[in-house]
Amino acid sequence: MWDFEQCDPKRCSGRKLVRLGMTKLLRLNESFGGIVLTPTATCVLSPDTDRQLMHSGGIAVVDCSWAQLEQTGFKKLKFHHGRLLPLLIASNPVKYGKPFQLSCVEALAASLYILGEHNQATEFLNKFSWGHQFLTLNKQRLQSYAKCSTSKEILCCQDRFLEQITRVDSSNTESYADIYAELDNQILADSSSSQCSSSSEDFTEQRTETHSPTDSNFGQQDSTVIEGEEINKVITKQIDTLVSSFERTKLFTECGKNWDRFYKRNGVRFFKDRHWTTHEFTELSSLHNRTPRSLLEVGCGVGNFLIPLIESMLSISKAGIDIAEESCVSKTNGISRIYACDISQRAVDILDERLKEFPVKCNAFVCDVTKTYSLKAALSSLNSVSDQEFNNAEHGVDLVTLIFVLSALNPQEMFTCLCNVASVLSPGGRLLFRDYGQYDHAQLRFGRGSRLFADRPSYVRQDGTLSYFFTKDELANLFSNAGLSVHRLHFVHKETRNVAKDLCVQRVFLQAVCEKPAS
């Protein structure tokens, strides 16, 4: 492998293979006589002729950044047998769902598979928690390419797969973030039949019943035998290779730093704005008809929840319409105070910049909600009142949102987070909650070395951020122990499909509305 050192060596799949002794690092001026997988090649891999070349000379890969191809000094490399790989879909966390843009290990494994070395391809991929997903995602393509004999046959085969993509939408290349966007669109389209929005509930109405989950067999024992067995195998593999206690402690300690790095790398590009929230939570959709109320978003990130809500309340688009501030205030009379907090200073800074285009005041601040009383102390300081004064309805918050936030915490600190939320809610104030449910597609994508505990479905992503997958009973107990009464708690099951990429993504979420008792 030649390495142009354009990637983080700690996260580079090629560098990991070098550390494991599975591949050798070449000097940039060192020649190589075997097959070289490089984006500058003009010839596609040819099974019949390249198989012998592989056995005699081996396979090399060029490690560089896809974003810096034009600045990469490929001319420094000395080789004679450059090869291109046919259409394949990346499964690594950075380029998930992208065609052609494979990581080093994906490229090596793909070439080995096409040239008949299936076991060795699997061995390479098994060193990565997400590796098995590459074979699953590209099963049909890899099997078809492996049956070909010449480059011409492989190109014909590739054309058929490209035609499938073209029929759906060749201009829309999906990343993992785009899958979430597709889900958001589905939720928006289906919201009229959603259990949450089936009635126009008054904000002050007292209700005590808990909704039952929607019917679905996904992930349950009464599901099909094959599906249940596959889930059990994945979970067992995850439990057999847990993260070490040292790494686990380090991850919990550096949670804020990891999110800062995440937003430094992705900015506003990763998560899509959530335009479905007012359809799913009637408490939000009816705000403009109510007495002015206060809103706090916990885990605001870069404003993917808050910005669409403000746009909705102002009745303007992202492009903006010049209107008087007094007019804006009248249109947002459903919200008197807006707060937003996040553990990442970088995320808060980005949100502040995005909010400048709206004539609405929002207090965004950094807060670690896993620290006892941290949320009340921060809000008390912003309002220049004491902690005792903040307990009354005048200074408390009427609505708190916790959207895909609790799952990103240390499981042992989730209760503290909910206690913090309860401490700032006004009597009768409500918590709007949504997060991942057990056996969601995201959970089953995790591989070896990603699970933190054997008895709890807590995971670490490649970027160091955390994820957790809840059961309904577990959440109900957490809410109750934190002093919140549950008004609604139910599953949301979704299935997103991408025919062109052979993706069928099963999504499982839990959604809840809780209230702080008046007494």
For strand 31-37 and strand 59-63, is the pairing parallel, antiparallel, or unpaired?
Answer: parallel
Of 224, 360, 226, the residue nearest 303 (C-alpha): 360
Q: Which two tokens stand for residue 236?
A: 């067992």
> Please, is 156 exposed, middle or buried when counting C-beta atoms within 10 Å of its C-beta (0-12, 13-18, 19+)?
exposed
Amino acid at 82: G
On whether 380 is known to bind a ligand per the annotation, the reply is: no
**Long-range Cβ contacts of 376-385 (<8 Å, 24+ apart):** 376/420, 376/423, 376/424, 378/341, 379/296, 379/339, 379/424, 382/339
d(CA 111, CA 138): 13
Question: Measuring CA to CA, how many Å separate 418 from each of 288, 431, 471?
Answer: 27, 9, 16
d(CA 245, CA 364): 34
SS3 222: coil
Where b means 16+ CB within 10 Å and e means fewer, 332-347 reads: bebbebbbbbbbbebb
**Dihedral sign of CA atoms 475, 476, 477, 480 in order:** positive
Q: Taking every pair of C-alpha atoms in the chain, what is the biggest distance, in angstroms? A: 79
Question: Measuring CA to CA, how many Å separate 186 from each of 145, 181, 276, 280, 474?
Answer: 34, 9, 9, 12, 27
Q: How many other C-beta atoms lie within 10 A of the C-beta of residue 93?
A: 17
> Please, is 84 exposed, middle or buried when counting C-beta atoms within 10 Å of its C-beta (0-12, 13-18, 19+)?
middle
For strand 397-403 and strand 293-298, is the pairing parallel, antiparallel, or unpaired?
Answer: parallel
Residue with tokens 């080093």: 104
In contact, 407 and 298? CB cutoff 8 Å? no
Phi-psi region of 58 (alpha: psi -120 to 50; beta: other; left: phi over 0): left
Contacting residues for 476 by C-beta, under 8 A, at least 6 apart? 210, 486, 489
**Upper half-sphere CA count for residue 490 (Cβ side, 13 Å):** 18
DSSP classification of residue 194:
-
On whether 62 is known to bind a ligand per the annotation, the reply is: yes
In contact, 37 and 59? CB cutoff 8 Å? yes
On whether 88 is known to bind a ligand per the annotation, the reply is: no
Secondary structure of 50-75 in HEC code, one letter for each residue: HHHHHHHHCEEEEECCHHHHHHCCHH
Q: Which residues contribute to the annotated binding site? A: 13, 62, 85
Q: Which residues contribute to the annotated binding site for S-adenosyl-L-methionine? A: 13, 62, 85
